[in-house]
Amino acid sequence: MASGGWVWLLCLMAFLLSRAAAEGVSLTAEEEYSRGDFPEGFVFGAGTSAYQVEGAADQDGRSASVWDTFVQEGYAGGATGDVAVDQYHKYKDDVLLMAGIGLDSYRFSISWSRLIPGGRGAVNPKGVQYYNNLINELISHGGQSFFQGDFRDYAEVCFREFGDRVGHWTTVNEPNIFASGSYGQGLGPPHRCSPPFGVTTCAQGNSTTEPYLVLHNILLAHGSTVELYRENYQRKQGGLIGLTLFAFGVVPYTNSAADVAAAKRAKDFFIGWAVNPLVFGDYPEVMKRNVGSRLPSFTSGESKLVKGAFDFLGVIHYMEMPMKDNPESLDSELRDFYADVGAQMMVSLDSYTHGVSPSITYNFLLVNFPVKPGALREVLEDFRTLYGNPPLYVHENGKPKQSPSYLFSPRTGFANRFDAGQVERRNGSLKDTGRVEYLHRYIGAVLDAIRDGCNVRGYFVWSLMDVLELLGGFQTGYGLYYVDLDDPDLTRYPKLSAHWFSRFLNGASVGPDYSNVIVEFELAVADLSHLITHVRRRRQHSSH
């Protein structure tokens, strides 16, 4: 039986977006709740991913990944994962931080290029040793294992080497966004798209067909991996396996019948694209109609392979997305994924609403969105009513620090406001009241969904600490812990949100009034500052 604990493992090198949420959150939920209100066995955790935290990019046999190549072109504002936040060398300290908060679980990924540097073939023993060390350290502190990994051959190495201690495996992270973003818009590696589509100019690709082919192949690879795990490992190891989707809270822009229908189509395209095959064995009918021959079809054997190929599904949610009917996009003979939806994303940019056309897209992922916890509740409700109420884990949900960031697009003229460094120094960013308000409201929305009958089993904050956001460098800062990049030791400092989350995890009731938490936190920060000053003075004295 796999040990319970900290680790969720994912097999695919995930396309993890720079997250964006609202600024200036104002708490309106009046309900007070505690951890005791959640079902017994409900898991609370936090997440990161390998490239975003590990560092040690050229150490102990690791080879370059597609993200190493991609960020060198400046897409993370000049920041890279060469060092990141150095979890490769600081994993013991980071596990102590998790245990100190009271997390049940840690969700992380295993770097394919560290485990199998050649992509296939020989396994790197030092890579195996590192992940064994991390998993063992997590388990020694009582946590669960939630892991993210790749397909069949790579996955088998993961199952064989780590499966006796990993309770939950996720094969693919955000395949719907990976396919449409990396192969339709050129937003992430391998940076493929074709004119007139794409956020950037791509050297090669076909935006009209490749996203559909990629998602199709991912589903087949996922099904094959689940088949392998169930046949050879699940019974003796006792773990569970699933897949994680990025889920917008899709709503109609107006109450008109056309916009309501557009929102339904968008749900089928953004979520049903991957979930329908897993639950029903085929793509949504509206996708078959709108995409036509560009949408691959499943053979009878393939349909059986993917249908039911999950023990749970993961949900990544950050934002509500209003959709406006746009039937004109379906009139074009040359269409990409977004034109096939026949709807327009209506995004609030600062103080005005802007319709993002299907051929532009992706600046919407990096602008400020209003805090809408009801959108997460509705996403979970859709899984209950449309897909048979499968076991769900909210695998990512969180709030960046309050600094707006726009991704530059030649078609919109929005400026790229990212840079590689931290905008706020430590003393200005530890008191993250907006994040506390955000977490209180969204965790409350999960509790509401559970009370509605949704089969939600866990909630993971993004992220454990400030990490290298893949499209935003270190500017956005989602972490419960601040990492001081100016400190050679990359010292971690708990934010107010870490203190609040710890109190909640240890049984305290939480509500809109958290003034007592702020007082406790300020006293703790004062004690911590005194301790750090004392340690630094001792170091200086000993160096003389």
Q: Hey, which residues are catalytic here?
A: 174, 396
Torsion of CA 291, 295, 299, 302, to 10 degrees: -120
Of 318, 429, 246, the closest CA to residue 19 belongs to: 318
CA distance 463 to 465: 5
Q: By the 8 A CB rule, do 320 and 346 touch?
A: no
Of 416, 284, 408, 419, the closest CA to residue 341 belongs to: 284
Contacts of 258 (CB under 8 A, 6+ apart): 325, 327
List, as one string, the DSSP characters of 462-475. Answer: E-SB---BTTTBTS
CA distance 443 to 35: 10
Of 348, 244, 316, 351, the closest CA to residue 478 belongs to: 316
The two structure tokens encoding residue 371? 């805090």
Of 463, 367, 351, the closest CA to residue 20 belongs to: 367
Q: Provide the 8-state DSSP code for 190.
A: T
- The answer to whether the bond into 463 is cis (omega within 30° of 0) is yes
Helical H segments across 120-184, by residue range: 125-140, 153-162, 175-184
The helix/strand count (H/E) of the chain reads as 19, 15
The two structure tokens encoding residue 70? 């991609």
The residue count for the chain: 544
